[in-house]
Amino acid sequence: MSNNKNRLLVICGPTGVGKTALGIDLAKKFDGEIISADSRQVYKGLDVGTGKDLENAKWKDGNWVVGGVPIYMLDVVKPNEPFAVSQYQTFALKRIDNIQLGNKLPILLGGTGLYIKSIVDGIETIGIPPNRKLREQYKAKSVQELFMILSRLNPDLANLLNKSEQSNKQRLLRRIEIAQTETTRPKATKRIFNTLMLGLICPNQALKDRINERVATWIKDGIEKEIHTLVMENIGWETQAMSAIGYRQWKPYFEGKMSREKVIDRWKTDEYQYAKRQLTWFKKDPRIKWFNVSSKHWKKEVEKTVTDWYN
RNA sequence: GGCGCGGUAGCGAAGUGGUCAAACGCAGUUGACUGUAAAUCAACCGGCAUACGCCUUCGGGGGUUCGAGUCCCUCCCGCGCCA
């Protein structure tokens, strides 16, 4: 396959900067199709609060199509099912292959850094599945104990961990899992693309404003009703899907323990904090070309960058 | 008008004579993160200083004390009860 045929355009950035709109724009101009890289939009039934922009969308052949542009990796699992990067990687890579085979430009678009990483860089240990038994067994152990266990299994790895990682139970459990299966590790998928990575950004206050506006819109668009439906369908608050921002915050409200107003405040704050975390992740990737959506000609600049790369 | 309770760092809230620049939570800042990633976790978080440290704080003012956020007096403000 020639280099030209192996293009992958990536659009990333924090929540609320307008990634989707740009993606659709570029898809139209460069004959592309979009693969969403969003860990919560994969869930069916989580529409309003995850910002799936489906107003003018049509469901066609098992996928959403907006303005003639297909968007894949939305609504791929039921809200009571777990979903992880490995599944994402598998499905998304297949999609990319298909799009390239159809001589179109795949556009990987989203705010989930790890998902993007799984496509662009691969994840070495991605073939090691979670060990539910182990997780259950070690659930009650302290962070210190887990660290000791890991140290015994793989001292070198343990010593590499920084303070943050050493205190992170979730991550420690995962590391123990990996250490235990080290010898039988399956080969990881590694693909090399001709990649252009675009990052969208805007000044802090502007981002905050955008987030506040979006939240207001989502409330108007019926987030409460959507959650009510999920609750009626017995989707538990503890599910991965319901841990999404804009959903989990409503738990105390539905239980009559918190006012609507407070829930919404909490929601906005969490949304903003999330955006900051996304930025922390993306900022350290030197391949990303950043565009400030508050500046005047950012779209033209983006188009120029893509054109230069495309030709 | 009387009695009672309370005013602590951006917010909430501990603290009752020294170990208090002041627990803890939230917010904030910076960051980590290769199968939960919209998750999970870390550091910092009065001012100045890289740091030893120095300086200014616990409603205002005045006292007691070697020493006060902590005790006394007084004033201001909020809440509750009685008038």
Determine if strand B comes within 7 Å of the CB of A269.
yes
Does one domain contain both A222 and A287? Answer: yes
What distance in Å separates the CA atoms of residue A177 and residue A161, rounded to the nearest whole number?
15
Does one domain contain both A176 and A193? Answer: no
**Which pLDDT score, from 0 to 100, does residue A54 have?**
81
Pair of tokens at residue A131:
């060990």
Of A184, A214, A229, the last residue of a domain is A184
Pair of tokens at residue A26:
């570029």
**Which pLDDT score, from 0 to 100, does residue A56 have?**
85
- Asked whether residue A18 is marked as a ligand-binding residue, the answer is yes
Q: Which domain holds residue A136?
A: 129-184
Contacts 24+ apart (CB under 8 A), A282-288: A282/A12, A282/A13, A282/A14, A282/A113, A282/A199, A285/A197, A287/A195, A287/A197, A288/A12, A288/A197, A288/A198, A288/A199
CB A9 within 8 A of CB A26: yes
Pair of tokens at residue A180:
């235990």
- Asked whether residue A68 is marked as a ligand-binding residue, the answer is no
Nearest to A258 by CA among A273, A248, A272: A248
Determine if strand B comes within 7 Å of the CB of A203.
no
**Which pLDDT score, from 0 to 100, does residue A181 have?**
86
Does one domain contain both A72 and A108? Answer: yes
What distance in Å separates the CA atoms of residue A73 and residue A275, rounded to the nearest whole number?
21
Does one domain contain both A145 and A210? Answer: no
Q: Which nucleotides of B are covered by protein (CB under 7 A)?
A: 26-43
Q: What is the ipTM of this complex?
A: 0.94
Of A184, A201, A216, the last residue of a domain is A184
Distances (CA, A) of A148 to A156, A157, A165, A178: 12, 12, 13, 15
**Which pLDDT score, from 0 to 100, does residue A1 have?**
44
Looking at the 3D structure of chain A, how many domains does it have? 2
CATH number for A51: 3.40.50.300
Element spanning A57, H or E: strand A57-60
Does one domain contain both A104 and A217? Answer: yes
**Which pLDDT score, from 0 to 100, does residue A295 have?**
94
Nucleotide nearest to A247 (CA to C1'): B38
Q: Give the 3-state secondary structure of residue A287.
A: coil
Q: Is A144 exposed, middle or buried (0-12, 13-18, 19+ CB in 10 A)?
A: exposed
Residues 46-85 of A with CB under 7 A from strand B: 49-51, 82-85
Does one domain contain both A95 and A207? Answer: yes
- Asked whether residue A129 is marked as a ligand-binding residue, the answer is no
**Which pLDDT score, from 0 to 100, does residue A185 have?**
63
* Pairing mode of beta strands A194-201, A288-292: parallel
Determine if strand B comes within 7 Å of the CB of A87.
yes
Q: DSSP letters of A248-274? A: GGGHHHHTTSS-HHHHHHHHHHHHHHH
Does one domain contain both A193 and A45? Answer: yes
Nucleotide nearest to A174 (CA to C1'): B35
Does one domain contain both A84 and A149? Answer: no
CB A250 within 8 A of CB A48: no
Does one domain contain both A137 and A232? Answer: no
Q: Is A291 exposed, middle or buried (0-12, 13-18, 19+ CB in 10 A)?
A: buried
Determine if strand B comes within 7 Å of the CB of A170.
yes
- pTM here is 0.94
Does one domain contain both A235 and A115? Answer: yes
Does one domain contain both A18 and A116? Answer: yes
Task: Tell me the average confidence (pLDDT) per consecutive run of 10 residues in chain A, 311 residues long.
Answer: 78 96 96 98 97 88 93 97 97 96 97 98 93 94 95 93 95 95 68 96 94 96 97 96 97 93 96 97 97 96 97 88
- Asked whether residue A51 is marked as a ligand-binding residue, the answer is no
Of A163, A184, A205, the last residue of a domain is A184
Does one domain contain both A152 and A262? Answer: no
Determine if strand B comes within 7 Å of the CB of A185.
no
